[in-house]
Amino acid sequence: MATVEIPVSNLERSVAFYVEVLGVKVEFKGEKNAMLSFQAKGVPTIFLVETEDRKSLSFSNSHNGVEHSIIDFYTQSLEEFHHWLQVKNIEVGPLNINEEHGFGGFGFKDPDGNLLSACNVLHKGQ
């Protein structure tokens, strides 16, 4: 995967959010778009595009009604990250951790209501 493109209504506000919350680096910033990268691997990148199109990124599971994000970010410290987002007054969903194996995740929203998720499941190659 090379890039995930995310619609935003205010580029400045969104760049500040993604830099602070995800720790990404601004590789390029234009008038209406910005390329952000993760410092460790560099890819995939996040391409923020300012738009008036008010569709937010998420979808509803038609089998159980659960709203899903289309992007999950890995964190080793799931509970700490969840708490940190709450302290920052960022809208977060409930923290779901399977007691049997300790893996889990939660959703949180960017300033435009795009649903993002954090999980502590480490995949091969990460």
**What single string gives the DSSP state of each residue in 35-74?**
EEE-TTT--SEEEEEE-S----S-EE-TTT--EE-S-EEE
Q: How many CB atoms lie within 10 A of CB 3?
A: 13
Q: 11, 27, 51 — which closes off a domain? A: 51
Instruction: Count Cβ atoms within 10 A of the Cβ of residue 110 and give its class: 0-12 exposed, 13-18 middle, 19 or more buried.
Output: buried
Residue 69 has pLDDT above 70, yes or no: yes
pLDDT at 19: 96
Q: Report yes or no on 59 lying in a domain.
A: no
Indicate which CATH number applies to the domain containing 121: 3.10.180.10
Q: Which domain covers residue 35, as residue numbers?
A: 1-51
Please report which confidence band the pLDDT of residue 115 belongs to, taking 50, 70 and 90 as the band edges: very high
CA distances for 42 relative to 3, 12, 90, 100, angstroms: 10, 21, 25, 34
Query: 30 or 68: whose pLDDT is higher?
Result: 30
> First CA to last CA across the chain, in angstroms?
13
Query: 92 or 55: whose pLDDT is higher?
Result: 92
Task: Report the candidate in 78, 99, 112 with the shortest Cα–Cα distance to residue 6.
Answer: 112
pLDDT digits (tens, 9 = 90+) for 2-60: 889 999 999 999 999 999 999 999 999 999 999 999 876 666 899 999 999 878 888 88
In terms of domains, do 82 and 43 share one? no
